[in-house]
Amino acid sequence: MSTHTADGRRTDTAGGGARDAGALRRLAAATLHANWEHDHTVPSRTLYPHQWSWDSAFVAIGWSHIRPDRAWRELTSLFRAQWAAGRVPHIVFNPALPVGSYFPGPEFWHSAAAEGAPAAATSGLVQPPVHAPAAWLAYRRSPSPAGLAALRWLYPRLVAQQRYLATRRDVGGGGLACVVHPWESGLDNSPAWDAPMAAVPADAAVMRAYRRHDTAHADAAHRPTDLDYARYVALVASYREHRYRDGALADRHPFLLECPLFNAATGAAEHALARIAPLVGADPGPHRERAARITEALVRRLYDPVTGTFHPRDLRTDRLVPARTVLGLTPLVLPDLPARQVSALVAEASSPRFGLAARMARPLPSHDRTAPDFEPLRYWRGPSWMNINWLVRRGLLRHGRPDLAAGLRDSMIELVARSGCHEYFHPDTGAGLGSPAFSWTAALLLDVLADEPPGAAGKAPGAAG
């Protein structure tokens, strides 16, 4: 077989599966070590030189296998930049880097002018709250007194994060948090956002005033367009103008959507907090109750029985967005998702739209591959992503489908074995796209390699928690 060095260069290795797995573990560990930056891990040294929120959560899971101390430093450093009301910013900027090293940088966000912002320069947006499950998994993978101390420190901050989303972001009043920008969903330019974004006034020419960092390091044909970015900038400007206050969002903000992934992550976080609570002397009951309410609201507001999948709800129109994207599969991570929805999502995932199988012919795409707007090269409009694969796999294990989880695991491992630890992958060929030496790809590879194949020895380790 062939594998890759931390910078993405191909090297040849010989031998059987065990030796191959060892080479992949070394590649993943080398990638994380190369991206470590004093108290956190950058997603990549080229495209993303600062700290990103949900990246750090996934990365902490990987570190727990090889350097548990760094798993806790990763999460702790992120939550030191938490805002007073509980907002966990989607970017924490490294002050040692020069102005212009990333766009949009700290001078664009101007977080210091906002009430309750931390001393560190941050963005004003959030990302899916996958941090409590990451903390629980990191502790379960490598329990220790230091880990328990870190959980005690993190627990009230994780609770504050959940409280912020449940109160200040429930704009629709239906028990779900809304996102105010596609970047908050994590799936920046998903076709799920096309119709809502089309209503955001913007002109691609506005981007002439800025220097995009991403297209200097990746093929522009693989990235969001200038018109996309003009709308992203307009949305940030709208939110920043009001100093990132969430009051009266319904009256003034042009993009308000309830996202299936974001809210599935919020529900999963409550389940994880219910696991953490007894360890730190807290009551797990309220977390279980909130988790049940989130799952009920998710099914009531975002599930479409006609398509058999979940869709974002546009609060501006009070309608579900019709695009069938991988966002719709992610509620599988909820252990209390009703059996009817579980069966429907497994059918959706196994259909030609996504091609999930016990033996995957092609990687899991991020968008319906039968749709006319499917783009195999452009960011979240088709390519396969390790973190979404990881979330869907965990959901399959939770709901008694180890056969399909095994197929997805094999596909994830093959992507890296074939192409290295890339940011994302071509959904047909598995070729690496975006940034090489990408941290969450390396981290989650370590996690799936640590799990025995489902069925090999009873319940797979990844099925619990």
Kindly tell me the burial class for residue 15, based on how many C-beta atoms sit within 10 Å of its own C-beta (0-12, 13-18, 19 or more).
exposed
CA distance 368 to 375: 10
CA distance 220 to 81: 32
**Which candidate in 184, 423, 447, 451 is catalytic?**
423
- At 354, is the secondary structure helix, strand, or coil? coil
**Cβ–Cβ under 8 Å, residues 88 and 56:** no
User: What's the CA angle centered on 274, arms 343 and 52, to 5 degrees?
Assistant: 80
CA distance 263 to 301: 11
Q: Is 373 a catalytic residue?
A: no
**Cβ–Cβ under 8 Å, residues 14 and 407:** no
Tokens 């996934």 correspond to what residue? 58
Q: What are the C-alpha distances in Å from 305 to residues 183, 264, 311, 344, 399?
A: 28, 18, 11, 9, 19
Q: Is 348 a catalytic residue?
A: no
Q: What are the C-alpha distances in Å from 290 to residues 38, 165, 429?
A: 36, 12, 42
Structure tokens that stand for 410 in this block:
């094999």
Other C-beta atoms lying within 10 Å of the C-beta of residue 154 = 23
Give just the sign of the alpha carbon dihedral 264, 267, 269, 271: negative
Strand ordering across the sheet containing 257-258: 257-258, 313-314, 319-320
Residue 149 CA from chain centroid, whole number: 26
DSSP notation for 374-431: --SSSGGGS-B-HHHHHHHHHHHHHTT-HHHHHHHHHHHHHHHHHH-S-SEE-TTT--
**Which candidate in 184, 188, 226, 270 is catalytic?**
188
Beta bridge pairs of residue 304 = 309
Active site residues: 188, 423
